[in-house]
Amino acid sequence: MRIAVIGLGFVAISDALALARQHEVVLTGPLPDRVDAINAGDLPLADPGVADYVAQNTLNLRATLDFDEALKGAGMVLISTPLPKDPERHGYRTAELDSRIEMAHERCPGVPIVIRSAVPIGYTEGLRSRLNSRSILYAPEFMREGHSLQDALSPAQIVIGDRGSLGEKVAAVFLGAALNTRIPVRRIGTAEAEAVKHFSQAYLATRLAYFNDLDSYAMTHGVDARKVIEGLCLDPRIGTKANNPCFGFGGQRLARSTAHLSEAFAAVPARILPNLAKAGEARLDLLTRAVLDRGAERLGIFRPTRGGAEDETDALNALETRLRGEGVTIIEYVGEGLDEEFTRFKEDCDLVITQRMNPALADISAKVFCRDLFAA
């Protein structure tokens, strides 16, 4: 089957790589540099196993800037378009996604159009009604950035927002792309599938906020946070996954889902999810004070890159904004920590802030501020 993948982000590329073992896959998007890189075999994906996977498998994969070319003859269309938050309307900006779906619907009538973006709950059914099409469905992805190819090849679950034959067909395609065929498949309603995505993200954000709160208590009361976490995580009901404190749940994905659900809970008597943002603010208040108390005159911020792209750490950005608001002079470094600029950076800074501990900082660990308690 020929499959068109609209999008050039890590979800789209990971889906394309997984599917290209068995299908002809054409990626498309308005980013010439990424299209050229994909066609040259220099895949813009940070996953460590990408090179081995490409070397060990024959992949029928290419990219194009021409949407019409990508959609021509497609038997299935996957769409992964980022949805930015609208700060004025407190919702999602779906115009770009709308246009991509409408284009696929027009050029590929009757072909399954699978939305992979994290859309608002109710979005897919509304679009189906507006376009009078039952060929549009939602299939959430559960990929981790930095491990997205691994998650595409070995998903923990496959969730399809369609109970009919269309959903069965799409589920079979995703299952066929996986290396392990013993994967639980759930075919449910569109709104339920959309809710699964957002509530799973919100759960992860809640868990991170919990361990951050624990760490904040430990910092305030002189308790060894790591020892506490190791003790409570011996309980199998809690476990050791996602138990490492940080500055806050960063990136766009967790924050976006929690914000969406918080707004959706306006008429529901709930307390946990609507207050996650407040927990994040309280965490940043404490961290800001902890950094200022160190009394550093020259403060550095280290942002590592992964696969040539800057790491997404919105919590670090928020902390930097607060520190600048206190009049602190900040020196920034973005890179892998292997150049002369980084050597000068370490020498010039009295204190270096980073979201996660990095081996490049090992020689100045005494002047690193980082709440990464379980650094590898």
Residue-wise pLDDT tens digits, 222-272? 999 999 999 999 999 999 988 999 998 655 566 677 777 777 776 677 677
Domain co-membership, 261 together with 307: yes
Q: Has residue 200 been placed in a domain? A: no
Domain co-membership, 158 together with 231: no
Q: Are strands 368-369 and 351-353 parallel, antiparallel or unpaired?
A: parallel
Is 360 buried (19+), middle (13-18) or exposed (0-12) by CB count in 10 A?
A: middle
The domain of 292 spans 223-369
Residue-wise pLDDT tens digits, 9-34? 999 999 999 999 999 999 999 999 99
Q: H or E stretch including 232?
A: helix 225-232
Which of these three, 132, 167, 188, is where a domain ends? Answer: 188
Q: Has residue 122 been placed in a domain? A: yes
Task: Quote the pLDDT of residue 307.
Answer: 45
Domain co-membership, 319 together with 247: yes
Q: What's the pTM?
A: 0.85
Q: Has residue 199 been placed in a domain? A: no
Q: Has residue 195 been placed in a domain? A: no
Q: Has residue 25 been placed in a domain? A: yes
Residue 258 CA, chain-centre distance (Å), reads: 13
Tens of pLDDT along the chain (376 residues) come to: 999 999 999 999 999 999 999 999 999 999 999 999 999 999 988 888 899 999 999 999 999 999 999 999 999 999 998 887 766 655 678 899 999 999 999 999 999 999 999 899 999 999 999 999 999 999 999 998 888 999 999 999 999 999 999 999 999 999 999 998 789 999 999 999 999 998 898 888 889 899 999 999 999 999 999 999 999 999 999 999 889 999 986 555 666 777 777 777 766 776 777 777 788 889 999 999 999 999 998 999 998 875 444 444 478 888 999 999 999 989 999 988 888 999 999 999 999 999 989 999 999 999 999 999 997 5
Residue 146 sits in a domain whose CATH number is 3.40.50.720
In the chain, the number of structural domains is 2
Task: Quote the pLDDT of residue 309.
Answer: 43
Q: Has residue 216 been placed in a domain? A: no
Question: Which of 243, 46, 240, 55 lies closest to 147, judged by CA?
Answer: 46
